[in-house]
Each structure stands twice: as structure tokens, then as C-alpha cells.
Structure 1
């Protein structure tokens, strides 16, 4: 996903120390004199300094011929920096990238195909789809899932109790019914901005639709399919049960500030937004609850957009074997559990969700992550988001425009952007 969105989606993480480079620990007792260094780029904020210290010490102990050189990068401007590094023979060996950025890097010929290792050593069948699918391109697995974060419903327990809503809804219809009960007097049943297109995407996926599809090598916008239109209609019904602005997204105004006023019953956001809410209104501490975005039935939660990171290996690196060992370790069970507990992330496999089972907010996020998806896996998708026709489409429909006609026009714009090269 784009860096700005990912920073919001990862607002729940702990702050990192200011150290920009964590060098390897040197030769350990019993290690070989012939040691090589694997250079790893990770993003600032993705892991704590304590986690990286633990990982480095353990990895070098287990791999007596390898040293780690972990260098922290900033999200701002990272796309161009990674593109340049992938063309450099002295570039990093392992790089953390946003899960939806993998396709564009593969398209430029800069990543190693890790399909064999994924199937043999990394348990790819159990990966979260929202991380695994965007890491796959043209038949190969280039991005290895590292961690995920996604939206849940944050709710005000006091307002639920006052409205007689005894438990969080588990289906869409229950959700609409509960929200209508909550939407009375001075209380908004839900605050949902008109252009929250990531949330809309989940409703469209639940209906079996998509934002765009690859048809025989040609990407086409698909907001005008019956499935996608049903997703938009549910969004319209839910959004009407609050006072979210139809012509703005969730950042204008920041939805955490709106919720902090105390008269909003529900909000769709990553759990970390609760921290911003409590900072604005300390009286809400201990009064916030969390549940997965409801699905169409009780069998499973609703689909959600999955943000997070994949690990990639630079094409042509002289340290391919060592780089793969680093990826295997970071993506393996031991360090996935450690990272999830340390940073309140969703691990890369559903079977590892027990690592966060004691935390209500993260457990709700993990339940939704099992139904997670990512944006269309086209190298050109960033161009769609740059002047997002989905947002404009949503505002038109919420303003009373003919939905099929507006969807057809938006789909045409998406197709034009994805066909550009």
C-alpha cells in the first residue's frame, strides 16, 4: 500500500529508537573465520530496536558464517530509493516493502523469484491471502509475507449499553439493525466518511466483486459489475446511519478526532486509532471495544483490506543463500510470534493468531485478516490511487447519482490508468 496509508495503518506500533543502523554482532565463539555480511533494509517503525537486537543476536548465533547489517529506512520517498537500490550491484540483499508494492518492483526486473523456497520451507499454503497474493506476480512468488494490519470496528461500550445493544453484531444485517438503534438523539450510530474506499473494497469483495480484474493480460475496472454495485449499496446504507461527510475521506477531518467527542458509537479503523482517540479524550480510556467487520453470515467475518509488509530479495545478489536464510527466519514461527507480541501485528499465518489472542483489539484484527485482500495486483495500481476515481464515484452515489452509470464511468477511468504504460 502507499506509504501514507501504511503509516496510518501502522499507527498502533511502538516507537523505534533513533538508531538508523544495527550492525552485526561480529564473530561468535565457534563461528567460522569466513564470514559474510547480509545487508537488510527494514522500515522504521516496523520493529522495535529490542526485537531487532534479539533477532540479530539469535540469527548470527544460528548462522556462524553470517553477519547481519540491518539498516532502517523511512517510508517517505522509499519507492524511488528501492528502485535505485535494485539496479545497484552493491544494493541491499533483503528489503522490506509494502505488500502492494511488490508487483511494480518485479515488473522492473529487480527481485528474486522465491517460489521454490516458499513451497518447500515457508509454508506458503497457510499465509494470509492479503499478504501472499500481492507478493505473487506472473506465476512466481517474489514477496514473502512478514506482518499485517487491517481495519476492525472500534465501538463505544457506554453508547452500546445505553442503546441496549448487548453484544457486537456478527452479520451485516445485525450490524445495520444495531447501528440504526444506536443512531438516535445526539448519537451517531457510526461515523463513516463518504470516500473510505478501502472499507468499500471489503464490501465489494464480500459480494464476490473486485475493483479491477486481469482479463487475459488486460486490466479492466469492474465497479459496474452487479457484485460491486451490491457492495456499494451496502456502504450507502451503513454510511447513512451517521453524519460522515459524503465528499471527504476518513482523514478530512481525522476520524479519530470526531470519535473522541464521545457521541459516535462506531468507527471502522485499525486498532491503533484507539490510542489517538484516548489521547484526545482520556475519559474514553477503558470504554472502547473492538470487533471484526461483520460478514454476510455468521460463518466468517467480512473481507478487509490488508496492509502490511512483504520481504523481498534483490535480483542478482551475491548473498542469495544468506538472504533467503534471513527471510526464512523473519517469516518463520518463532520470530513471527515474537514480532506479533512485541508490535501488536497480525502474524503472517492464521494458525499463529494465538500469539495475540490475549489482546482484544489485535485478536479482532487477526480474525478479519483471515478474510483479508489487497488492491489489484497491477504495477500501475499506484496511478489509480493518485487521482482516485473510486472516491469520486462514491461521493456521486451518496449524493444521489445513478449508481450503475457512475460505476461505469469510474470503471472506465480505472481501465485507462491500468492500461497506461
Structure 2
């Protein structure tokens, strides 16, 4: 009887690990986003190297990795889930929809206590739905105001400290022949980020900070986009491409060519611009009368899907991936910010990362997208589609923000059904 009980317990334990390949091996499917700019620096190389190192230390577990561009990766994972063949692990832009569908493991079911406790608190909180963490931060960044030092010196300018200073600098840059005095990318690629940067600097934001309710058409947000329309766009201080048609990638490329005086940027742009010979200056995004009330932070997410039952194997891989060595290698490769306390401390103490210290200092005090809201994906899509029209010379920010707010309310109501 004792032997039978022991055997049954062993079978149950093995069943809890999920299905295995022939011979007891497990193959984990990982789908990840590409942080590179082309084949030469694709993230595929990083993940393949990490997978082989993990396999060497964990007999019986294989890791199969597919890397897709940011334009495709979220859709690819959604299609896999819809087809009933979810990956075991996904490193993508959002997780909350999969929580609502009951597709994900809780973080505490996967990683060790030291790993979970090591995530930066701001990012851990952003990975929670109903106070339970499902999304594990993988990469983070903050946004600063970038300026081309050579263009500023030629125009006799100092870094702006207020919105009025931005306008004055843009006027002088335009007078000096700069093509994009202030590049304002409000096109379809990532305008939800540029929108949030300006909302925060104007004292607003996507949500009420206390209640978490969407306040997209608040008076502060309307005033912000009225100011952009009247002070930057209508005077033609944003360059030859209308903000509604300007994507972030276009704006960043123009900055690396020396055609942009100012724009909001992240750490990877600094690396790219400096390699292109641009002398880059950075300051926190100014507010109306001085320092902005808050800066914007961004995080991308790691998650474990329950479908194939590989909970223990997923957890072992994630504990390995979140070691300081691996976190710092990825951060160094793409000039982004670590998501763990210990790796952040090591980066900040390393003089080789002096140019990232301003970003590191800003991250703990920044505000992130409302990642935990299952409605956020639809709200973000509405912003991308509509926000550019708010700042056209004949645009009506109150009407545009009101329309986005209505769509946000509808998405939120549906999410709660």
C-alpha cells in the first residue's frame, strides 16, 4: 500500500509539470520581441545563447525561441493563443488580456521568492491585476527631452526648462534652418507614448492617480493639446511632416541625421545617435512653469502561459534569465534599463553607464501606462488612431480627447462584463 501511494504521488507530481516530450524531456516555447534594428543585432542571438546556456545546466529541458519585430510579436502571440497553441513563455508588450482569459500563471507560481522580490517595486506593481502579479517586467526605459548640442550651440541656446523655453528654442532653431525644431511624432507607431509624456508634463495623464479612472479629456489634457496646436504645430515648429503622419522611427532617424533640434527620446536612441556622431544633450521633460509633475516610464513584459502545464520548467528558466549577469547583458546590448534592484544598482555604480544615470534616476519616480487594465490595448489603439488630428492647425483637442475618452469608457465597461 505504501508503495502504491508513493507511486500515485509521483505520478500526480509529474502530471502537475504538464506534458513532456518522449523520454521525459520538456521543450519550452518562447516567443520574444526584437529589440535590434536589423539582422546584425537581432535579439534572436541573445535568446539563442541564453537558451543554450540554460540547457547546459538543466538536463531534460529544451528552449525553442522565436523572435519577432515589435510590429508583429503581440499579434503572433495572440494568434497562437487563439489557435489553442499558446507559447509557454512570451516576452511582449501587454499581459492583462490574457489574465482576464485565465491563461497565465501567477508570478509567485513560477519564479523563486528572491527573483520576485528583486523586481523594482514600481514595475512589480504595474504587473498586477487585482493585486496579484502576473506580468514580470523584462525591459524598462524612461523618457527624457533630447536636444542636439551642436544645433543649440549654433543658435546660442541653453536646454529648455519650461514649455515657453521649448517654444523659444524651437523658434530660434527654425530661424537657423533646422528642419525639425521640435519633432512631435503623433503618428500611428507609438503616439500613445508621446501623448502621455505631454499629458504628464501638463499636470494630467491617462488616469486619475487616486481612483484609476480614465480622465483622458480632463481640463489639463485639453489645455496641453491646445498649447501644442497653438505654440508648436500652427507656427510650423514641428517640421515638414505633420505630427499625425510622423512616426517615432521617422523622428528618431531624423535626429540621428542631425535634422532635429529637440524630441522626447529613450536610452536606445542615445546609443544610436552617439554612434552617428550626434552630440546629445538630455534634460527631464519640462513642465508648464518648471519641472514636470511626473515623467513617463515604459516596461515590457514576460509571462508564463498555463496551457501546456510546464510551470516548474518555466520557473527554472525565468529564474535563470533574471540573474544579474543575464539582465545586465541584455541591458548593455540594447542600452535599456534593468528591471531588478540588484542589476540597477550595479549599472548605476558602473562608470561605463554614466549616460544612463539620468534615466535610472527617473525610473523609480515615473508613471507607466495602465498595463493592468484589460481595456488599455483598445484605449492605446484609439489614441494612435486619433490623437494626431487634435494638434492640426484646425484641430479641436477637446473633441478629439472626448472621443478617445468615450471609447475608453466603452472599453472599460466591456472589460468588466
TM-score (structure 2 length as normaliser): 0.71
Larger Rg computed on CA atoms:
2
The separation in 2 between residues aligned to 1:118 and 1:173, in whole angstroms, is 48
Kept in 2, the 8 Å contact 1:155–1:290? The answer is yes
**What corresponds to 2:205 in structure 1?**
210
Aligned to 1:148: 140
Report deviation, 1:79. 4.1
Q: Pick from 237, 250, 254: which aligns with 1:242?
A: 237
Q: Alpha-carbon deviation of 1:110?
A: 0.6
Alignment partner of 1:285 out of 260, 273, 276: 276
For 1:96-111, what aligned pairs fall within 5 Å after superposition? 96-98=91-93, 101-111=94-104
Q: Structure 1, unaligned stretches of length 5 or more?
A: 1-33, 279-283
* Alpha-carbon RMSD: 4.1
Q: Distance in 2 between matches of 1:275 and 1:301?
A: 27
Once the 2 structures are TM-superposed, how far is the Cα of residue 161 of structure 1 from its aligned partner? Answer: 1.1
Q: 1:73 to 1:110 in 2, by over 3 A?
A: same
Uncovered stretches (5+) of structure 2, i.e. residues with no partner: 1-22, 36-41
- Decide whether the 8 Å contact of 1:305 with 1:375 is kept in 2: no
Shift in Å at residue 402 of structure 1?
5.2
Q: Provide the residue aligned with 2:285 in structure 1.
A: 294
Taking a change above 3 Å as real, the CA distance of residues 287 and 333 of structure 1, as seen in their structure-2 partners, is: same
| 1:200 matches 2:187 | no
**Which residue number corresponds to residue 222 of structure 2?**
229
The count of aligned residue pairs is 374
Equivalent in the alignment of 1:341: 332
Indicate how the Cα distance of structure 1 residues 230 and 118 shifts in structure 2: closer, same or farther if over 3 A, else same: farther
1:251 matched to which residue of 2? 247
- Following the alignment from structure 2 to structure 1, what is the Cα–Cα distance between the partners of residues 394 and 268? 34
In 2, the alpha carbon distance for the partners of 1:253 and 1:83 equals: 24
CA distance 1:298–1:396, change in 2 (3 Å): closer
- TM-aligned CA distance change 1:249 to 1:89, over 3 Å: closer
Matches within 5 A, 1:15-414: 36-43=25-32, 45-46=34-35, 48=43, 51-52=46-47, 54-60=49-55, 62-63=57-58, 65-75=59-69, 77-79=72-74, 81-83=76-78, 85-86=80-81, 91-98=86-93, 101-115=94-108, 120-124=113-117, 126-127=119-120, 129=122, 131-166=123-158, 168-169=159-160, 175-187=166-178, 188-193=180-185, 196-212=191-207, 221-233=214-226, 235-236=228-229, 237=231, 239=233, 242-244=237-239, 245-246=241-242, 248-251=244-247, 254-256=250-252, 258-259=254-255, 262-273=258-269, 285-296=276-287, 303-306=295-298, 308-315=299-306, 317-349=308-340, 352-353=343-344, 354-355=346-347, 358-359=352-353, 362-370=356-364, 371-375=366-370, 377-386=372-381, 388-389=382-383, 392-401=386-395, 403-414=397-408
Secondary structure of 1:311's partner? strand
Post-superposition Cα deviations, 1:117-169, rounded to whole Å, max 9, x if no partner, equal 6793235575274x545532232111111112454444322111112235x44
Give the Cα–Cα distance (whole angstroms) in 1 for the partners of residues 75 and 390 of structure 2. Answer: 34
Distance across 1 between alignment mates of 2:164 and 2:271: 29
Structure that is richer in helix per residue: 2
Displacement of 1:270 in angstroms is 3.9
Q: How has the CA–CA distance of structure 1 residues 372 and 35 changed in structure 2, closer, same or farther, with 3 Å as cutoff?
A: farther
Q: Cα 1:285–1:404, aligned 2, differ >3 Å: closer, same or farther?
A: closer
Partner of 1:416: 410
CA drift at 1:112: 0.5
In the TM superposition, what is the alpha-carbon distance from 1:289 to its structure 2 partner? Answer: 0.5
Q: Which moved more, 1:318-327 or 1:45-54?
A: 45-54
**Which digits, 9 at most, give the CA deviation of each residue in 1:181-237, with x for residues without a partner?**
434332353222455442121232345533256999xx9642222333344355444
